[in-house]
Amino acid sequence: MIKVAMTGVYVDDVARAHAFYTEVLGFETRLHMDLGDGLLFVTVGAPQGVQPDLQLLLEPGGGPIAEPYRTALYEAGLPTIVFEVDDMRVEYERLRAADVRFTHPPQEQGPVLAAVLDDTVGNLVQLTQRLR
């Protein structure tokens, strides 16, 4: 069986992204390695053993491929990544209280309630809650 172990998201600044994804969104640091010359290898994941094998790699987003890709997604209003939450209204209010900017508030979209936020490091992130 093949499983997802790690996926990456390009970010403007790895250290700033690490702070946002851990301190604001609530992820845990899985790996944090200084590779020298100002390069960091940082992964985060869901807290408290939820999906213990799945990591999100915070990758430097500059360069001739990553930058146009990120810019095009952002300008089109498309999320780079989608996270699932148990209670959208609770998370939405918690994140708004932390001054997170949403590009659209929670809205029903077929089988999910979805909202989109700006991660402050060049990406839009969608939060979804499955509707029963």
Q: How confident is the model at residue 79 (pLDDT cuts 50, 70, 90)?
A: very high
DSSP 110-122: TTEEEEEEE-SSS
Q: What is the mean pLDDT of the chain?
A: 95
- For 25-58, b/e burial (b = at least 16 CB within 10 A) is bebbebeeeeeeeeebebbbbbeeeeeeeebbbb
Kindly write down the DSSP assignment for every residue of 19-72, as one continuous string: HIIIIIS-PEEEEEEEEETTEEEEEEE-STTSSTT-EEEEEE--STTHHHHHHH
1 part of a folded domain: no
Q: Is residue 14 part of a domain?
A: yes
Task: Label residue 60 by pLDDT band (50, 70, 90).
Answer: very high
Full residue range of the structural domain in which residue 14 is found: 6-130
d(CA 25, CA 120) in angstroms, rounded, equals 12
pLDDT in tens, 113-122: 999 999 999 9
Q: Looking at the predicted structure, is the pLDDT value of residue 52 above 90?
A: no
Q: Average pLDDT, stretch 65-75?
A: 94
DSSP state of 99: T
Nearest to 116 by CA among 97, 98, 100: 100
What is d(CA 22, CA 44) in angstroms, rounded to the nearest whole number? Answer: 7
Q: How far apart are CA 42 and CA 100, in angstroms?
A: 22
- As for how many domains the chain has, the answer is 1
Of 48, 44, 46, the closest CA to residue 14 belongs to: 44
Provide the CATH number for the domain around residue 47.
3.10.180.10
